[in-house]
Structure 1
Amino acid sequence: MGQVGGIDVLVRSSWLIVAVLISVLIAPAIEQVAPGLGAWTYVAGGAFAVLLYLSVLLHEISHALMARRYGLPVRSITLHFLGGVTEIDGEPDTPGREFGVSVVGPLTSVAIGLVFLLLLPVTPSGLLELAVEMLATANLIVGVLNLVPGLPLDGGRVLRAGVWKATGDPHRATIVAGWGGRVAAVAALGYPLGRELVTGQPTLISDYVLALVIAAFLWSGATAAIVSAKVRRRLPVLAARQLARRALQVPGDQPLSEAVRRAQEERAGSILVLGQDGRPTAVVSEAAVLATPDERRPWIPVSSVARTLQPGLFLAADLVGEPLIRAMQRTPASEYLLLEPDGTVYGVLVTEDVDRAFARAA
């Protein structure tokens, strides 16, 4: 729908479902304060849905601005069925920054709710007063509920920041906050039944459906966070320098059979193709070599089974853990060329070697 401060603002089609639901649900209240509107009752409901999601957008913008303040790139803001999400490239590197990025969203919603609450006494009665009252209530509820201590809610990230600060272990903190999210999911699922038992009033089927949707969202988000934390715990064992293969450098017109023979003789695990300037321009694909019959190898130049080295295939030899995985994810490939800080070749990193090392660390 546009940009805010250079950040793309996206709206999923599921938002239209929310707009329709809001229009239908608040139609009786609108009819009560402004009778006789007819079909315009639902138009007014749709307008309220837009205003509500503009409040959600302000909530997400506050996350984005705080993230930028800490030097974290923000890819986009997306509004969807259950609210919004700010896609940040990377994570805060300290508990304090994690707390700041997380808590600012709910505080923004609470502040918006309080502003509407203060406007309520001076708002003319009727449809406008109803809108201000509902916006105040909705934003206060959004702010408070987002502080529930469980991922994927903002309160879960606040809890994560606290546990991280106390233990010094961000992965343990994520697991704790993830379990908080699972508890919140169970509570959300049981809320309609609990309310019915306490008040004695029957609960609508729609309330159970909404509770199920919210519980599923919380449980899936919390579970994903727990799984991610367990995976990321194992990433520090992945060091590019330790996993690198020694590389044999040959001219591109050398027969494949000769290149393979020399690599075996020199115990090199990979083969690099040199350009006319003497610098590596391509890395030989191990899969392509294995797929080439022995009798054909003397007649095939090594360059025909090599992949040209694009910018994303040059990696620093000192990469370790998560930065290494992110660098590989940006340009998926089977082999990468590892370079020393001065630009000299250290070796070749093979994706299968990384996968095996990760599996052994499980």
Structure 2
Amino acid sequence: MNAARPERPSGWVLGHVAGAPVVLAPSWLLAAVVLTVLFAPNVSAWTGQTGTVTYVVALAFVVLLFASVLVHELAHGLVARARGQQPHAFVLTLWGGHTTFGGAAPTPATTALVAIVGPLANIVLAVLFLVAGRAVGGDVLLGMLLLSGAVANGFVAAFNLVPGLPLDGGRVLEAGVWAATGDRHRGTVVAGWAGRLVAVGVVLVALGTPLLEGRTPDLVTVAWAALVGAFLWSGASGAIRGARTGRAVDALTVQRVGSPATAVGARASLAEARAAAAAAGVADVVVVAPDGRPAAYVDPAAAASVPPALAGTTAVGAVSAPLPVGTTVDGALVGQALLHALSAASAHGPVLAATVEGRVVALVRAKDVVAALRG
């Protein structure tokens, strides 16, 4: 599975491929222990042996399985890099693995191609393991492991091709809807809902199959299905939320999140500021320094406390809150570029002045931007 997340994951760095670290997450240790314990009875049944050797062989199979997962993820990253999308990290986790990127794929074709090569890599591995296993012989322990690797890779490939996020098949579905509609976010929402259906389906299959066959559902199987279903539901829901936020980001403009404002000089009185606001038909007033830089804004509560009779003799600076250096953004920016600018400027203060060609056009409050992104 692949995702576009810029955060560097925690864990042990095993090396670097394509300029990105290969990270072993701490949760992998739990997965290795659990899978080794679950696989050990199969090893015992194959070999007729018990004790430490069964767990050593089971652990070898788990390492082989996660090596296959790593090949799956490296396929994602290498193809992505060839298509101009730099991988950020290859991560092995409790749930297998994922590849993170510094940004989203630029086209539907890239999304689909990067997604599909992961399962294709597992299909190639399944064939290689199958050929090697048959050559060694299924009655030999090494042959058994190789044939198990073939089955495991075949399952990983088939499962990842299921059309629902966060699986690779979901990425392909997302790319298809994106290509058909021209709307990336619609593709993500459709694939996210498909992923939710898959999550529910995994649990229903685990419960329903034995019941239809007249058997009692196995508690361990149901528990694993519930965990996998919860993981898939969480990933699908996160994708849907991300798509909605992405749509809000694309539609982001100063006009949507800002309050129209006008500007007055630092020596203006409150009465002059009120007159300027009334003439411009706006509620907010920005005070500019002699060099033209937005230096403060009139605080509505402080201004309201001044009696009308004193407005003409009250300096506008007396009822203003400062705008620190760096709290100015380009009001002509839109979408992701505007969000980056707002994010950088908000580090200096929660209220920002938006200007277009040096002219103050709006005041933007960080809380209004957050509200807009939350829909």
Q: Same fold (TM over 0.5)?
A: yes
What's 2:36 paired with? 23
1:171/1:233 contact within 8 Å kept? yes
Q: Are residues 130 and 83 of structure 1, via their aligned partners in 2, closer, same or farther at CA, if it must alter by over 3 Å?
A: same
- Residue 84 of structure 1: SS of its match in structure 2? strand
Identity %: 33
Question: Which of the numbers 324, 330, 334 marks the counterpart of 2:350?
Answer: 334
- Asked if 1:156 corresponds to 2:170, the answer is yes
1:337/1:349 contact within 8 Å kept? yes
- Asked if 1:116 corresponds to 2:129, the answer is yes
Shift of 1:180: 1.2
Q: Please, what TM-score do these two structures have when normalized by structure 1? A: 0.78
Shift of 1:207: 0.1
Cα distance in structure 2, aligned partners of 1:7 and 1:270:
48
Deviations 1:165-188 (A, max 9, x none): 222233332222122112211210
Code of the residue aligned with 1:75 in structure 2: it is: H
Shift of 1:29: 2.6
Q: Are residues 319 and 101 of structure 1, via their aligned partners in 2, closer, same or farther at CA, if it must alter by over 3 Å?
A: farther
- Correspondences of 1:218-233 after superposition (within 5 Å): 218-233=232-247
- Asked if 1:171 corresponds to 2:171, the answer is no
Cα distance in structure 2, aligned partners of 1:314 and 1:42:
62
Code of the residue aligned with 2:176 in structure 1: it is: G
Q: Are residues 249 and 292 of structure 1, via their aligned partners in 2, closer, same or farther at CA, if it must alter by over 3 Å?
A: closer
Shift of 1:294: 6.9
Over the residues paired in the alignment, what is the CA RMSD in angstroms? 3.8
- Residue 85 of structure 2: SS of its match in structure 1? coil
Deviations 1:316-349 (A, max 9, x none): 4332234433554466552345465xx7465555
Cα distance in structure 1, aligned partners of 2:275 and 2:86:
47
Cα distance in structure 2, aligned partners of 1:250 and 1:62:
60
- Residue 350 of structure 1: SS of its match in structure 2? strand
1:250/1:259 contact within 8 Å kept? no
Shift of 1:212: 0.7
Q: Unmatched 5+ residue regions in structure 1?
A: none
Q: Are residues 344 and 132 of structure 1, via their aligned partners in 2, closer, same or farther at CA, if it must alter by over 3 Å?
A: farther
1:99/1:158 contact within 8 Å kept? yes
Deviations 1:278-303 (A, max 9, x none): 474x854778x9689979xx89988x
What's 1:320 paired with? 334
Cα distance in structure 2, aligned partners of 1:250 and 1:73:
48
Q: Are residues 347 and 121 of structure 1, via their aligned partners in 2, closer, same or farther at CA, if it must alter by over 3 Å?
A: same
- Residue 76 of structure 2: SS of its match in structure 1? helix
Cα distance in structure 2, aligned partners of 1:49 and 1:331:
48
Shift of 1:144: 0.9
1:14/1:80 contact within 8 Å kept? yes
Q: Are residues 283 and 59 of structure 1, via their aligned partners in 2, closer, same or farther at CA, if it must alter by over 3 Å?
A: farther
1:77/1:87 contact within 8 Å kept? yes
- Correspondences of 1:1-362 after superposition (within 5 Å): 1-2=12-13, 3-34=16-47, 36=49, 38-123=51-136, 126-240=140-254, 243-244=257-258, 245-246=260-261, 248=263, 263-267=273-277, 269=284, 271=286, 278=291, 280=293, 284=296, 306=322, 308-310=324-326, 315-329=329-343, 332=346, 334-336=350-352, 338=354, 344=358, 347=361, 349-351=363-365, 352-355=367-370
1:78/1:85 contact within 8 Å kept? yes
Code of the residue aligned with 1:13 in structure 2: it is: P
Code of the residue aligned with 2:43 in structure 1: it is: I
Code of the residue aligned with 1:145 in structure 2: it is: F
1:196/1:202 contact within 8 Å kept? yes
Cα distance in structure 1, aligned partners of 2:119 and 2:289:
56
264-273 or 175-184, which moves further after superposition? 264-273
Cα distance in structure 2, aligned partners of 1:30 and 1:291:
77
Deviations 1:233-291 (A, max 9, x none): 4444431266554464867xx8xxx686765454383546759xx474x854778x968
Q: Are residues 240 and 137 of structure 1, via their aligned partners in 2, closer, same or farther at CA, if it must alter by over 3 Å?
A: same
1:186/1:215 contact within 8 Å kept? yes
Deviations 1:106-132 (A, max 9, x none): 222222222222222233653322222
Cα distance in structure 2, aligned partners of 1:71 and 1:259:
56
Shift of 1:51: 2.5
Cα distance in structure 1, aligned partners of 2:304 and 2:332:
36
Cα distance in structure 2, aligned partners of 1:317 and 1:70:
33
Cα distance in structure 2, aligned partners of 1:119 and 1:270:
76
Code of the residue aligned with 1:167 in structure 2: it is: T
Counting matched residue pairs gives 346
Q: Unmatched 5+ residue regions in structure 2?
A: 1-11, 307-313
